Every structure is written in structure tokens, then in C-alpha cells.
Amino acid sequence: LKPRPAEPAAKMTDDLWVQRLSTGLYRIGVTKKVSDKLGGVGFVDICDEGSILCAGKPFGMVEGPSGTHTVSAVLSGEVVECNEALKKSPEVLAQNPEDMDHGWLIEVDSACDYEDEEVEWKSLEEAGEPIVEVKGKE
């Protein structure tokens, strides 16, 4: 395996942001665009710890006054932690969904090495999903 190069704090699609932590895990959360579209967030339903994610498959739902949004994985792997605080206080997502310390939905141990991971992002870009690199703290 090639060593991982230094990367920005997160990558973002229209719907999701993904932050790679120094531990090698990935945090996934929804973007402000999703929260705005829903008119805020009043309910969060996410998969359980130990669930296996497959890229492109749903793992949760975010609900607001204007409707619901199904959240689909952008990478494959095992869910090692769920942000239980969001289930009790989903308004955190309404206030600042891109807060990578508090607004994340799940943490994932990715099933792919660095080269596979880049292929998954490239597939999203080729499918017309704009990918934006975001600077920030870990």
C-alpha cells in the first residue's frame, strides 16, 4: 500500500461531507444545503454501530419541516460510531450541519485502501457529483 498523502480536512458533495480523521476513520455528515432544503432538522435516523456501508446505498434519514432526505454512503466500510447526541438534539444540524466536531452522523472504518478510496471519489465526480475539498481542523 502507498502511504496516504496529506489531505484537506474534508471532501464535500452537494449532500454530504466526509472528513478523514488522523485515526484513519471517516466522519460523515450532511451539508448546509440539505438542512436548508428541509427547513431545518427535527429528526435524525441513522444506522447502528457495526452496520456495513456500501457506497451508494442509504444508511439514514434526516427529517425537517419541509420533508425528508435519505442519506446514502459515499464510501464502503463498517460503522464504528454513531453520533447519538444528534438523535437527542437534532437541532445541532439545523444550526451548523457542517460542524465537523458536533454535526457528524457516523464514523466509518473504510474497507478500501487509499487507491480504492480515490477511485470511489472519482466515480462520484464522473457521475456528475461535484466534489469540493474543504480546509478545516480535525
User: Residue 127 — pLDDT band, cuts 50, 70, 90?
Assistant: low
At residue 68, the pLDDT reads 96
Q: What is the pTM of this model?
A: 0.76
- Give the range of the structural domain holding residue 91, as residue numbers without chain letter: 10-126
**Domain presence at residue 93:** yes
At residue 2, the pLDDT reads 42
Contact between residue 63 and residue 43 where contact means Cβ atoms under 8 Å apart: yes
Q: Is 121 in a helix, a strand, or coil?
A: helix
What mean pLDDT is predicted for residues 76-83?
94
Q: How many domains does the chain have?
A: 1
**Domain presence at residue 106:** yes
**Domain presence at residue 104:** yes
**Domain presence at residue 4:** no
> Which of 56, 14, 57 lies closest to 35 in space, CA to CA?
14
Assign residue 18 the CATH number of its domain: 2.40.50.100
Let me know how many helices (H) and strands (E) the chain has, helices first: 4, 10
**Domain presence at residue 25:** yes
At residue 13, the pLDDT reads 82
Tens of pLDDT, residues 89-120 = 998 888 888 888 899 999 999 865 544 555 55
Contact between residue 18 and residue 77 where contact means Cβ atoms under 8 Å apart: no
